[in-house]
Every structure is written in C-alpha cells, then in structure tokens.
Homo-oligomer: A and B are copies of this chain.
Amino acid sequence: MKDEFTAEEKKGLYKAIQSRRDVRSHFTSRPIKDEVLSRILNAAHHAPSVGFSQPWNFILIKDPQTKSKVKESFEKERKRSSKLVEEPKKSKYLSFKLEGILESPINLCVTYDPSKFGPFVIGRSTIPKAGLYSVCCAIQNLWLAARTENIGVGWVSILSNKILKEILELPNHVIPVAYLCLGVVNEFSSKPDLEKEGWLPRLELRDVIYFEKWGKKENLTWRNIQDFITTNLDYP
C-alpha cells in the first residue's frame, strides 16, 4: 500500500488525537447508530497484537440491571480509595464526576483472553504482559474512531475487577481490561477535566523525552530535535 495521506486526512488523525477526551458527562439521549458502533468496534479489532493473537473481546452492555451493579462497585471503590488521600485533595477527588455508567446508552467491557491461539504466541513468551498491551492498543483505536464520530468514551477505572468478572460471567482466565461508557455527545471539552480542574498540570513534551539513556535530557547528536520539542508541535 503506497497510499500517501492527503493533508486533510493527516489533519484528521492529529485532530482526533488532540481533541479526544475522557468523557464522563454531557451524554445526549440520541442513540448510537448500529453502523457507527460497528465501525468503531472494527477499528478496535484492527489494532496491532502480539504474534497476531487478537486476544480481545468486546462485551456490549445496555441492560440497566448490569449497569446498576457496576455503578454500585464504582461507588464502593471510590469511597474506599478516597481514604488513601488527605484533605483538601480528598474532598476535591470526591467532588469529581468520574463515570457516566448510567447516563451513557452503551457500556462496553474490553477483555483479554490469554488462551486465544495459545499457548505459544510469538513475542509473548519473553514479555507475558504483551497480550494485555495489545488490548490497550485496541481500546485506543476505538477511542479515536469514536471521537471522529462524535461519540464520547469514558474509561471507568475505579471498579473492582473481581466484581466485574462476576457480573459479566467472565471465565477465570479472562481479564477485564477496560470498562467504557459510550454515548453521543454535543461537544468535547477543550482540555482534559483533571487539567481544567487544576488537579494536575500537563507536562511539557520535553519533560518526557530522554536521549540514548534514562534521564539524559541533553545530547549533542540530538541537538536539533531539542529545539523542535519545545515548539512547532501541532499539525498545521
């Protein structure tokens, strides 16, 4: 495939990346079209996977009983984890809206099944977690595709995986990786909620890049890029 990307196609990719948000509210009552949902699931299914093992499954959920049980687990875990943080951060943490389980029309559990095409999967015998990594790449594909379709996606990571496995009847060997809330939204926040609320700042790009070895922020052979990573970052 030699297909070059046009400037606008390229812009679409970068725009999706820059404007994707973790959505916890503002879900509208408009249903997600089956066609659109299929398309974003297909995007997820085209993620890279270690040894081409495609170890993901997607459980689509709209049963209100299931959602209520999951929400209950969220409430319990949120309370429990709030004990790990001191005031004034504790109250701030408890004031955040961190999930949209009931408000979003569709919940989606993305799972990892290590038994798929196993036991020998190329690349997984040296790095056993590589299968989990593949599932995360699928989630990010779905998230970006959803953004271009005006579907908000929120990842609920305050949950008991043990309870989730019971609720969704997962076999023992299957690992729930993500519990996502999906719904049509009218707009996406200009910044991540936790950045806007002043919980944590966005790091500068130059703060997360090292040269040749851990911790090395200066290197003569990388001098030119050192200038670039402080400027010129967004796709024109």
Partner of A56, one of B63, B125, B208: B208
Does the CB pair A45–B13 fall under 8 Å? Answer: no
Taken residue by residue from 49 to 89, chain A's Cβ proximity to chain B (1 for < 8 Å, 0 otherwise) reads as 01111101111111100100000000001001100110001
A28 in contact (CB, < 8 A): no
Q: How many copies make up the complex?
A: 2
A30 in contact (CB, < 8 A): no
Does the CB pair A208–B84 fall under 8 Å? Answer: no
Does the CB pair A205–B158 fall under 8 Å? Answer: no
Does the CB pair B212–A61 fall under 8 Å? Answer: yes
Query: CA of A39 to CA of B140 in the docked complex: distance in angstroms?
Result: 18
CB nearest neighbor in B for A65: B212
Q: Which residues of A contact B (CB under 8 A)?
A: 1-6, 8-20, 22, 34-35, 37-39, 41-43, 45-48, 50-54, 56-63, 66, 77, 80-81, 84-85, 89, 93, 96, 98, 111, 117, 120, 122-127, 129-130, 132-133, 136-137, 139-141, 143-145, 148-150, 155, 157-161, 168-171, 174, 177-178, 186-190, 192, 194-195, 199-200, 202-203, 205, 208-215, 221-222, 224-225, 227-229, 232-235
